[in-house]
């Protein structure tokens, strides 16, 4: 497949690995932000090829993992109503809420449907005018334009039975939260290629400068990841700290202006709680007032929810790169993809799921 | 979640005021919304995420990067270093 095979080509991967080896002279800790990158490192066994000077830590870039348990509980409450069709990306269904997950609601007869695109949910609303169709709008900046378009299309069609439960998060405030933490050990970042495809790199320039930390916007294939690391290490070794784009076949410094304007039209920036981490200022998106009628939280009274996390789950520490998934005593025993304690074990981008699936260390 | 897959635009058409197209992913084609890549033309490659094309792939940029690797590795080979043969990932 064009634009994939070239970046999995052994010669290209070896080339960038040898560049990385040639550039590194001392230990550096680098975080890959995106869960898709985490999975590539483990799926292709790239982490085992890294020079031992590289300490790779996995970041919070898994929207499914950081969606607060309160919102899962709200989705469960809404989906349990007989007049509702709740649509979601497949990843969300097994994520544990306080007592239930969406799969269990479905098994009890709730109408929970997996959709490929938010526009599929809008089509469902057009076909089922007697039901309320709710779309669970989860995601980073990459997904926000698609969800914005769904709201705009529903508004245009005058749909009264469509709403969205918004759980959108933004990457730059999360990077800032990591960098400003007294526990921070991250010296360089591989930023998420598809988030920056939409947003560009403007917000990252300030972070690189303020925290004197190199940020390399990186793709997802093996050659991309090693090239991104080689670029990041070259900056670290020479004392530089700026934003570079490795994933230049898709990312432009200004991002995708059409998509950005749609995000701005529909959403506003708000503080948002991240599961296991806490509230990060300015890190979320919510619907603007003019689209309030499409807000599922307004439409369905769900304010009496008191959410509780599993006390045993270490997801917060895993998501901030403080510990590796295998450091959790429950990993692979009391917490598995079939019976998860936390979201990173079920999401297709979760770090715990990646370690369980590709390494099986500590798994029984 | 932010998974994006490259695909080739086969055609373009409009429906309900939005631009769509069939996009080919190595043999499987699917209807994709092209509203966020208004200038993309059939034959071009785009990155697709949750049913939306989010960027046009810059073929020149991609080819230059790959050519650079071949050039550097070619120089190393000429300098007598051991360069392994290529195994194509299918």
* A139 in reach of chain B (CB within 8 A): yes
Give domain status of residue B48, yes or no.
yes
Residue B87 lies in a domain: no
Chain A residue numbers touching B83 (CB-CB < 8 A):
11
CB contacts of A8 in chain B (<8 Å) are 89
Q: In which domain, by residue range, is B37 found?
A: 5-78
Smallest CA-to-CA distance from A188 within A21, A24, A17, A364 is with A24
Q: Is residue B44 part of a domain?
A: yes
Q: What is the 3-state secondary structure (H, E, C) of A210-239?
A: HCCCCEEEECCCHHHHHHHHHHHHHHHHCC
Residue A159 has a pLDDT of 97
Cβ-based contacts of B36 with chain A (< 8 Å): 145, 256, 258-259, 262
Determine the average pLDDT of the residues in B43-61.
93
Is B46 part of a structural domain of the chain?
yes
Decide if A60 touches B, using CB distance below 8 A: no
Contact between chains at B51 and A9 (C-beta distance less than 8 A): no
Contacting A with CB below 8 Å, chain B residues are 1-4, 6, 8, 16-18, 25-26, 33, 35-38, 45, 47, 49-52, 54-55, 57-59, 61-62, 65-66, 69, 72-73, 83-84, 86-90
Say whether residue A123 is in contact with chain B using an 8 A CB cutoff: no
| Residue B88 within any structural domain of the chain | no
In terms of Cβ atoms closer than 10 Å to its own Cβ (0-12, 13-18, 19+), residue A349 is: buried
Q: How confident is the model at residue B76 (pLDDT cuts 50, 70, 90)?
A: low
Is residue B84 in some structural domain?
A: no
C-alpha–C-alpha distance, residues A35 and A37, integer Å: 5
pLDDT: is B61 or A113 the higher one?
A113
Nearest to A146 among B17, B52, B69 (CB): B52
On whether any CB of chain B is under 8 Å from the CB of A122, the answer is: no
Q: Which of A13, A88, A140, A142 to mutate to test binding with chain B, by most B CBs within 10 Å of its CB?
A: A142
What domains are defined for chain A?
1-308 (3.40.50.11740), 315-358 (no CATH)
How many domains does the structure of chain B reveal? 1
pLDDT at residue A322, rounded to an integer:
87
Choose between A293 and B87: higher pLDDT.
A293
Reduced 3-state DSSP string for A120-161: HHHHHHHHCCCCEEEEEEEECCCCHHHHHHHHHHHHHCCCCC
Interhelix angle A10-23/A222-237, nearest 10 degrees: 10
The answer to whether the Cβ–Cβ distance between B50 and A6 falls below 8 Å is no
Please, what are the averages of pLDDT over each run of 10 residues along chain A (364 residues)?
Answer: 87 94 97 94 94 94 90 95 95 90 95 96 97 96 98 97 97 95 94 98 98 98 97 98 97 98 98 91 97 95 76 89 91 91 89 86 46
Question: Is there a domain that residue B63 lies in?
Answer: yes
| pLDDT the model gives residue A201 | 98
Segment holding A47, helix H or strand E: none
Structure confidence at residue A361 (pLDDT):
59
Is residue A171 a contact partner of residue A35, using CB atoms and an 8 Å limit? no
In a domain, B52, yes or no: yes
Give the ipTM. 0.92
**Interchain pair A256, B36: CB under 8 A:** yes
CATH number of residue B18's parent domain: 2.30.30.140
Contact call for A6 and B66, based on CB within 8 A? yes
- Among B2, B47, B83, beta carbon nearest to A140: B2
Distance from CA of A198 to the nearest CA of B (A): 7
In a 13 Å sphere around the CA of A23, the CA atoms on its Cβ side amount to 23
Q: What is the spatial distance between Cα B7 and Cα A308, in angstroms, rounded to a whole number?
A: 42
Burial class (CB in 10 A: 0-12, 13-18, 19+), B61: middle
pLDDT of residue A364: 37
Task: Enter the tokens of residue A265.
Answer: 């039209």
With beta carbons under 8 A apart, name residues in chain B contacting A256.
Answer: 36-37, 54-55
Q: How far apart are CA B18 and CA B6, in angstroms?
A: 21
């Amino acid at each position: 497949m064009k634009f994939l095979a070239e970046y999995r080509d052994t010669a290209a991967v070896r080339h960038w690995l040898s560049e990385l080896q040639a550039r590194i002279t001392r230990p550096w800790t680098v975080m890959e932000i995106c869960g898709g990158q985490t999975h590539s490192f483990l799926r292709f066994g790239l982490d085992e090829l890294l020079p031992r000077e590289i300490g790779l830590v996995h970041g919070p870039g898994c929207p499914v993992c950081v969606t607060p348990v309160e919102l899962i509980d709200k989705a469960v409450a809404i989906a349990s109503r007989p007049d509702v069709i709740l649509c979601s990306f497949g990843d969300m269904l097994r994520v544990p809420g306080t007592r239930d997950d969406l799969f269990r609601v479905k098994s009890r007869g709730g109408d929970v449907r997996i959709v490929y695109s938010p526009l599929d949910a809008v089509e469902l609303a057009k076909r089922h005018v007697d039901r309320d169709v709710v779309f669970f709008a989860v995601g980073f900046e990459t997904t926000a334009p698609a969800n914005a378009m769904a709201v705009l299309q529903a508004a245009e069609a005058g749909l009264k039975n469509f709403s969205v439960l918004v759980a959108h998060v933004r990457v730059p405030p999360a990077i800032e939260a990591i960098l400003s933490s007294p526990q921070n050990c991250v010296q360089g970042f591989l930023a998420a290629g598809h988030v920056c495809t939409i947003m560009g790199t403007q917000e990252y320039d300030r972070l690189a400068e303020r925290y004197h930390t190199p940020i390399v916007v990186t793709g997802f294939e093996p050659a991309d990841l090693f090239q991104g690391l080689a670029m990041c290490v070259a900056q670290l070794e020479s004392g530089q700290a700026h934003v570079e784009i490795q994933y230049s076949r898709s990312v432009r410094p200004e991002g995708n202006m059409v998509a950005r304007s749609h995000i701005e039209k529909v959403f506003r920036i708000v503080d948002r709680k991240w599961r296991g981490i806490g509230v990060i200022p300015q890190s979320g998106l919510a619907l603007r007032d003019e689209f309030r009628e499409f807000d599922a939280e307004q439409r369905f009274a769900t304010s009496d929810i008191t959410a509780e996390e599993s006390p045993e789950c270490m997801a917060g520490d895993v998501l901030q790169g403080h510990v590796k998934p295998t450091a959790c005593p429950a990993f692979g025993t009391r917490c598995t993809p079939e019976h998860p304690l936390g979201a990173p074990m079920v999401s297709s981008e979760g770090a715990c799921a990646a370690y369980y699936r590709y390494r099986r260390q500590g798994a029984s | 979640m932010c998974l994006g897959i490259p695909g080739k635009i086969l055609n373009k058409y409009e429906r309900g005021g939005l631009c769509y197209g069939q996009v080919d992913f190595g043999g499987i084609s699917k209807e994709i919304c092209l509203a966020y890549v208004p200038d993309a033309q059939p034959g071009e490659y785009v990155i697709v995420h949750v049913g939306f094309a989010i960027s046009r792939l810059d073929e020149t940029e991609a080819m230059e990067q790959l050519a650079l690797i071949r050039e550097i590795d070619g120089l190393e080979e000429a300098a007598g270093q051991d360069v392994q043969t290529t195994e194509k990932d299918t």
